[in-house]
């Protein structure tokens, strides 16, 4: 079911020949909300891009925002207003 959701929104490719594989889990550990009009990502991130622990994700005014752990970035956007979600960070989880 989760693959159908991700395919519907264009997050993963629609590959009809894809074999079923083991499901992977992620645990959200950080939700960052935009604090200034000067928010920008350090590079062009896409959902489920891998991030390293201590990697600089973005600058928000004078503040540098870094990943706390190795993992994944989810739903990165600069479009939301101040106080809106800019991105979510998640790490691999066994459940």
Residues 78-92 as b or e (16 or more Cβ within 10 Å = b): eeeeeeeebbbbbbe
pLDDT in tens, 26-83: 999 999 999 999 999 999 999 999 999 999 999 999 999 999 999 999 999 999 999 9
DSSP code for 30: E
Residue 73 and residue 47 in contact, taking contact as beta carbons nearer than 8 Å: yes
Return d(Cα 57, Cα 42) in angstroms, integer: 5
pLDDT in tens, 78-87: 999 999 999 9
Tokens (6 digits) for 17: 């020949």
Task: Read off the pTM.
Answer: 0.77
């Amino acid at each position: 079911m989760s693959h159908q959701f991700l395919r519907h929104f264009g997050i993963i490719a629609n590959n009809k020949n894809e074999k079923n594989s083991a499901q992977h889990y992620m645990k959200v550990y950080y939700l960052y909300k935009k604090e200034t009009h000067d928010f920008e990502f350090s590079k062009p991130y896409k959902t489920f891009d891998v991030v390293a622990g201590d990697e600089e994700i973005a600058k928000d005014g004078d503040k540098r925002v870094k990943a706390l752990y190795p993992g994944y970035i989810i739903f990165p956007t600069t479009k939301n207003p101040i106080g809106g979600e800019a991105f979510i960070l998640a790490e691999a989880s066994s459940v």
